[in-house]
Amino acid sequence: MSTTTAPASTKSRTPTADDLIAMPDDGVRRELIRGELRETPMTRRNRSHSGVEANIAYLLKGWLDRQPEPRGRVHSGEAGFRIRQEPETFVGIDVAYAPPELIAATDPGRPYYDGPPALAVEILSPSDTHEDLVEKIALYLEAGVVVWEVDPDFRTIRVHRPGEEPVMHNVRQRLGGDPYLPGFDESVSRFFE
């Protein structure tokens, strides 16, 4: 995704997550990265991207339904998370798992989560740039978030865990979720059906 950096505001103050939520839905994707407003044209998701996103959300929801209460929530479709307060960082995530502690700590009237998810799934699309993806994964890892980097073209999932080297999984392998998704275990091929 080709990113442009926008001026913070006409009043030269740093925008907040609430400012972004209040902006009109005008076909521009907005995120705050370390206090800097980033704007990119909203892209139409292709069938491959949206199908993989639906599969992942379905598999995670199936896992979640087997967990004891309180369970947390699975979100898809650019779910909003403020993953850092200083400098403020607010992102939309393709698929995410919000643990019960995060749900309890977030005001129910707030349209986004006020903290990082336990899992962030980023599905590669033609508009993603390598630099933007590397930066976003680094932000997640700094916040203690596990990241699944999903490539629909190569049908692979690269798992990034804080403090560890990434591990690549292909369609002939299984993906386990311990310890961050206890009991999650699926064939990678199911992500791409």
- 99 versus 21: the higher-pLDDT residue is 99
Tens of pLDDT, residue by residue over 8-23, are 443 567 788 788 777 7
CA distance 81 to 91: 6
Q: State the burial class of residue 180 (Cβ atoms within 10 Å of its Cβ: 0-12, 13-18, 19+).
A: middle
Over residues 67-84, the mean pLDDT reads 92
pLDDT in tens, 110-142: 999 999 999 999 999 887 788 889 999 999 999
pLDDT: which is higher, 188 or 34: 188
In the chain, domain spans: 45-192
pTM score: 0.86
**Region 147-166 average pLDDT:** 97
44-64 pLDDT per residue, tens: 667 888 999 999 999 999 999
CB 4 within 8 A of CB 38: yes
Is the distance from CB of 98 to CB of 117 less than 8 angstroms? yes
pLDDT of residue 44: 64
List beta partners, residue 84.
Answer: 89
CATH T-level topology, domain 45-192: tt1808, chain A (3.90.1570)
